[in-house]
Structure formats: structure tokens, C-alpha cells
A and B are shown apart, each in its own frame.
Chain A
């Protein structure tokens, strides 16, 4: 067995960012710290945009195409008839997509939402009516519960793998490295050019959205 890098640094850092930002976003919203909530929201938007981009331009294990599998593959994995993948397993892939998709929806709603006084609002609320913006806030509040439930499920699944199945998946998400057979390929190398382009693109889009998406 050798220690091979399976998760690149951008994957691990965006994951860490989600882990820190989501509780902070919840806390600021609960305590009416809306200015701070919106700043953290932009940080999350930036990270999420980058992670979505990295799902196409990142290292092999970061790419959606490498881990998103159909029902047949998921079924085979559940019956234990599939080899253990180096990156996300077919079931974990569903969790990745659901969490990223829900975060994207949640952020989008937040961008259009306003408070009940019509005073504090997301940067895109001026593009829609008062009633729609009010509805966006209500859905933004409701959807958080679903996101929290999915995160809880995610954490339970990780604990199950780590403690019951004795498949140590936490350490690789921290160090990037996993113990694999000698000939195994890590799949964690990406180009600096792709990284730079992704950071610039995500920062640019976030900046544009924060300005109210002027055309």
C-alpha cells in the first residue's frame, strides 16, 4: 500500500469553506446580522461557482463526469458488486450533487430575497416584484431546513463509513492522501492555468452579481 493524493487542494479547501460558511450563514441570519450574512453569502457564491467549474476543469476525482453514475452502477455498488472507486463512490456522488445543487438553489433564492420591511435585500431583488422577493425569502428560509437535513445525512453517512465500515474517508478529505494499492492512480492533478482561470471567473461573476448584475 502507498499513500496517494486523491483529493486536490481546491476540492479540500472548497469543502472546508462550505463547512465553515454554512453554520456562519445560519447564525447571522438567525441573529439578524444581515450585512454580515450577505458578505458570507458572496463568499459561498464564489466558492460554489468555483467548485462547479472545478467539476469540469479540475483534477479527475473532482470532475462530475468521473463520479456521476447511473442507477445500474449505484445498484451494483449497493450490492457490493462494484470495485471500490478511488474518488467518490456512486452513492456518495448523489450526495455531492444534491448538496451542491441545493446550495446553488439556496444562494440563488438569497440573491433575490428581501426582508419584510423591503429594506435589506439581495443584490438581484430589484429585478423582481415585491411579492416575488417576499416569496424568495420564505423559500430561502424553508429550504435551509432541507439543506440542514441533507448535511446531517451526509455527516451520518461519513461517520458510518469511518466507524462502522472502517473505510477511513475523513483523513483523505483533510490531507488529500489515501492508502491505495501500489499501481493505483491518485487522480488529483490539475493544471495551474485551469485553476487560475477558475478563480478569476468565479470572482468575476460574484463581483458582477454583487453589483446587481448590470448589463
Chain B
């Protein structure tokens, strides 16, 4: 009779432990992904700073960027928020205001798709115009949903 609550408490603790690990894994996964977005942004920008940018290289990175932007909402599954003492920059607002978060993610997707189309067409001016739009969508989303250092 006394063993049962103890076992239940242990099971609960283990479950909590498992979910902490799961949240940690989800968080480091999306951190890696966001760094990959940043690296891809840098690759595009570095190319644009050259006297004669290589449009093929930009287009390849734009495809990667657009794919990541499409996947982005999936990096925030339910329950992977800042709970259980996991260190994360993801704010609870992501899960509290899902419609607003989805709209912010869609904003990035629109910008990356514009970049993909422009670079595939070899339109340098349109590529250059897409860069600040991507930057603005990063910034806007981070202002509401990312904890600042």
C-alpha cells in the first residue's frame, strides 16, 4: 500500500525527466536550424558584397533558405516551450499566440520565396531588395517571440 504512491512518484519523476530531455533536444535542434538560417543568410550576403556576385551560388542558398523557412513552424511542437527549467530563448508567447506566430513565420516564408524566385531568375536588383525584407521578418518575429540576451 505504501509502495504504490512511491512508484507513482518515481514514474512521474522519470516522465518529467524524459520530457525535460525531449524539450532540451527540441530546443537545441531548432537552435542548430536557426544558426543554419543565419549561416545561409551570411553566404548570400557575402556573395552580394562581391563586385560580381555569383547568382548560381545565391540561388542555391535561397532554395535552402526557403525550405528552412517552410519547415520553421514545425520546429516548435506543442510542449517544447520554456518549462521544467530548460534554458531557451524561445518565449512562451510562441505557444500562447499560435496565430500570431504562424503569421510571423509566414512573413519570413514570403520573403524567402521572393528571394528564391529573384535569384532563380538571375535578377540581382530583386535579390538585393529581398535581403532587407528577410531581415525585417527575422527582427519582427524575434521582437515578440525570442528572449533577448
A interface vs B, CB < 8 Å? Answer: 32, 114, 116-121, 123, 125-126, 130, 133, 212, 214
Give 1 or 0 for each of B26-46: 1 = CB within 8 Å of chain A CB: 000000000001111110011
User: In angstroms, how far is the closest chain A Cβ from the Cβ of B25?
Assistant: 21
B interface vs A, CB < 8 Å? Answer: 37-42, 45-46, 49-51, 131, 134-135, 138-139, 142
User: In angstroms, how far is the closest chain A Cβ from the Cβ of B60?
Assistant: 16
**4 A-B pairs with the lowest CB-CB distances in the bound complex, closest first:** A118-B38, A118-B41, A118-B42, A126-B46
Q: A120 to chain B: which residues have CB within 8 Å?
A: 135
Specify the chain B residue showing the minimal Cβ separation from A212.
B49
Q: B131 to chain A: which residues have CB within 8 Å?
A: 119
Report Cα–Cα, A164/B33, bound state, in Å. Answer: 58
| 16 residue pairs A–B, Cβ–Cβ below 8 Å | A114-B42, A116-B38, A117-B135, A117-B138, A117-B142, A118-B38, A118-B40, A118-B41, A119-B38, A119-B45, A119-B134, A121-B42, A121-B45, A125-B42, A126-B45, A126-B46
User: In angstroms, how far is the closest chain A Cβ from the Cβ of B115?
Assistant: 12
**Known: A32-B139, A130-B39. Contact between A118 and B51, CB under 8 A?**
no
Report Cα–Cα, A126/B53, bound state, in Å. Answer: 12
Known interface pairs A117-B37, A123-B49; 18 further A-B residue pairs with C-beta atoms within 8 A, sorted by A's residue number: A117-B41, A117-B138, A117-B139, A117-B142, A118-B37, A118-B38, A118-B39, A118-B42, A118-B45, A119-B131, A119-B135, A121-B42, A125-B45, A126-B45, A126-B49, A130-B39, A130-B42, A212-B49
